[in-house]
Amino acid sequence: MIRRLLIANRGEIALRVARTCRELGIEVVAVHSTADGDAPVLALADEAVCIGPPAAKESYLNIPNIVEAARQAGADAVHPGYGFLSEDPDFAEVCTANGLVFVGPDPEVMARLGNKAVVRGLMASAGLPLLPGTEDPVETVEDGERIAAEIGYPVIIKAAAGGGGRGMTVVPAASEFRAAYHATRASAHAVFRDSTVYLEKFLTGARHVEIQVLCDRHGNGIHLGERDCSVQRRHQKLVEEAPSTRLDAALRAEMGAAAVRGALSVGYSGAGTMEFLVDDGGRFYFMELNARIQVEHPVTEMVTGVDLVAEQIRVAGGAPLSLSQSEVEISGAAIECRINAEDPGLSFAPTPGVLERLDLPGGPWTRVDAGYLPGSRVSPYYDSLLAKVVVWGPDRPAALARMDRALTEIRVHGRGISTTAGFHRAVLRHPVFAAGEHTIHFVDEMLAGEMGTGGDPAQRHAGAGRQAADTMELLVDDATAVTA
Ligand code: ADP
């Protein structure tokens, strides 16, 4: 039985985990850096511990300080949230060694999942379909050129240790391989301290569709349907929704079964996400397994009514899943917009500052998970996520209309602060998105004002950033109107 849980995270996810703990009667230990002394999670915590200065390395990534905080506060479990230490097997191991239940998969399992190329191999063994590519590291540029030629261009070079959309380069043609290979290795080394890269065929016109799985420590696994996260910029998700307009019930069941089979085959336990690409013929390809709760998990909670954090905690404590596959029902449609403190007019540059005014939406079937209160400071030390706005509707058009309404309620004031709320409204109103016909190239195409004009999406993907001034002005005006 977990009695007192330390949340090793900050912002909206710390608050979200704290809320479920309180509903379950579990005491909350919150940790914070000196930059987060006014975090909303602190009001819900039974105890708060300062774990260091603002730099994440010295606080939210500081394993000794976090474990010491857990010891001092008498916690018996740790929830890592997402990002920071959530997929660090050393952290899971140290927690376990100190008698703390780690809310996530076993450290040995997590260690194997850290290398995306290795996971490709594991999933191939479990019979999951993969795009052509390598399961071993590509050690030299000559090897890479040879393999890329075999696979056929475009290809994507990926850092084996990568995540968060970083450490990936799309290569449209052989002439660009050499430079892309060296650049990806260098950035992989700089960001992840591991320059290992592997190759995959780049699937043009794909949708990003991920399956939420839950597995317990008794060999049971279920899936809770999919989230479509094709609205991305620089491989980072901006909007997520369920169900996906590209899936029908048969494909959902097929992908769900494959996802559960893959997760169970590696001894996974807890909440996990199996990410796939789906082509326009409904063929799907495994991409990666995320061993954590994800930013976009509320979308699934909205359409299934299942509290994923509660299931994570239950499973970590050794209990079986509280529901079986036949009890999972997907109802209506849900969509999430990530409202970031960023300026869409300046290539989405972060805009830190003090939130002098922060009005967030409310209303029927409208959930807002925010990491800030009015008067809080958005710190340049952390990610720029201000709030997630998640809505549910009986069908997709109703959910989109509800989201549009919710976005108009956002008012953010603060010197220098912009938000992506206006950008999201432009996405929702775009005919291609509204029709559910968008692909992973949608945002690049929308920003470039090239929608519907043909051209090579891989080329565009590779050269993201070329943005037509007229479209951008429209978005900035919209954002200003909303945030003014
Ligand atoms: P990360 O771990 O950094 O999130 P992923 O492997 O999940 O990286 O990929 C992020 C995004 O990059 C995908 O959602 C997709 O848009 C794009 N992507 C990755 N691999 C491919 C591929 N082989 N073909 C087309 N797009 C891809």
* 132 Cβ closer than 6 Å to some ligand 1 atom: no
* 458 Cβ closer than 6 Å to some ligand 1 atom: no
The predicted-structure confidence for 372-404, as pLDDT tens digits, reads as follows: 999 999 999 999 999 999 999 999 999 999 999
Active-site annotation holds for 10: no
Query: Which pair of tokens denotes residue 125?
Result: 């063994």
Average pLDDT over residues 417-442: 97
More confident residue, 396 or 457: 396
Q: Kindly tell me if the per-residue pLDDT of 2 is higher than 50.
A: yes
- Beta partners for 367? 390
Q: How far is residue 169's CA from residue 469's CA, in Å, rounded to a whole number?
A: 25
* 114 Cβ closer than 6 Å to some ligand 1 atom: no
Burial of 53 (0-12, 13-18, 19+ CB in 10 A): middle
* 79 Cβ closer than 6 Å to some ligand 1 atom: no
Distance 165 CA to ligand 1 centre (A): 7
Beta-carbon contacts of residue 318 (< 8 Å; ≥ 6 apart): 217
Q: How far is residue 255's CA from residue 125's CA, in Å, rounded to a whole number?
A: 16
The predicted-structure confidence for 461-477, as pLDDT tens digits, reads as follows: 655 433 333 333 334 43
The pLDDT of residue 165: 86
Average pLDDT over residues 264-293: 97
Q: Kindly tell me if the per-residue pLDDT of 480 is higher than 80.
A: no
Catalytic residue among 16, 120, 246, 292: 292
Q: Kindly tell me if the per-residue pLDDT of 454 is higher than 50.
A: no
Q: Kindly tell me if the per-residue pLDDT of 248 is higher than 50.
A: yes
Q: Which atom of ligand 1 is nearest to the CA of 287?
A: 6
Q: Which atom of ligand 1 is nearest to the CA of 285?
A: 23
Q: Helix axis angle, 11-24 relative to 308-316, nearest 10°?
A: 70
The pLDDT of residue 37: 95
Classify residue 82 as left (phi > 0), alpha (psi -120 to 50) or beta.
Answer: beta
Distance 199 CA to ligand 1 centre (A): 12
Query: Which pair of tokens denotes residue 256?
Result: 């769900």
The pLDDT of residue 483: 35
Poorest-pLDDT segment among 99-103, 220-224, 444-448:
444-448
Mean pLDDT of the chain: 93
Distance 30 CA to ligand 1 centre (A): 33
Q: How far is residue 379's CA from residue 383's CA, in Å, rounded to a whole number?
A: 8
Distance 130 CA to ligand 1 centre (A): 13
The pLDDT of residue 124: 97
Write out the DSSP string of 317-345.
Answer: TTPPPSS-GGG----SEEEEEEEESEEGG
Q: Are 263 and 222 in contact (CB under 8 A)?
A: no
The predicted-structure confidence for 184-220, as pLDDT tens digits, reads as follows: 999 999 999 999 999 999 999 999 999 999 999 999 9
Q: How far is residue 290's CA from residue 300's CA, in Å, rounded to a whole number?
A: 15
Q: Which atom of ligand 1 is nearest to the CA of 290?
A: 2
Q: Kindly tell me if the per-residue pLDDT of 414 is higher than 50.
A: yes
Q: Kindly tell me if the per-residue pLDDT of 69 is higher than 50.
A: yes
* 163 Cβ closer than 6 Å to some ligand 1 atom: yes
Q: Which atom of ligand 1 is nearest to the CA of 202?
A: 24
SS3 411: strand
Model confidence at 164, in pLDDT bands (50, 70, 90)? confident
Burial of 409 (0-12, 13-18, 19+ CB in 10 A): middle
Poorest-pLDDT segment among 38-47, 332-341, 407-416, 454-463:
454-463
Q: Delineate the domains of the chain, giving CATH numbers in brackets.
A: 4-103 (3.40.50.20), 132-201 (3.30.1490.20), 207-483 (3.30.470.20)
* 39 Cβ closer than 6 Å to some ligand 1 atom: no
Beta-carbon contacts of residue 362 (< 8 Å; ≥ 6 apart): 368, 409
Query: Can you give the C-alpha Rg of the chain in angstroms?
Result: 22
Q: How far is residue 129's CA from residue 449's CA, in Å, rounded to a whole number?
A: 34
* 287 Cβ closer than 6 Å to some ligand 1 atom: yes
Q: How far is residue 339's CA from residue 337's CA, in Å, rounded to a whole number?
A: 6
Q: Which residue has the CA at smallest separation from atom 12 of ligand 1?
A: 235
Model confidence at 459, in pLDDT bands (50, 70, 90)? low
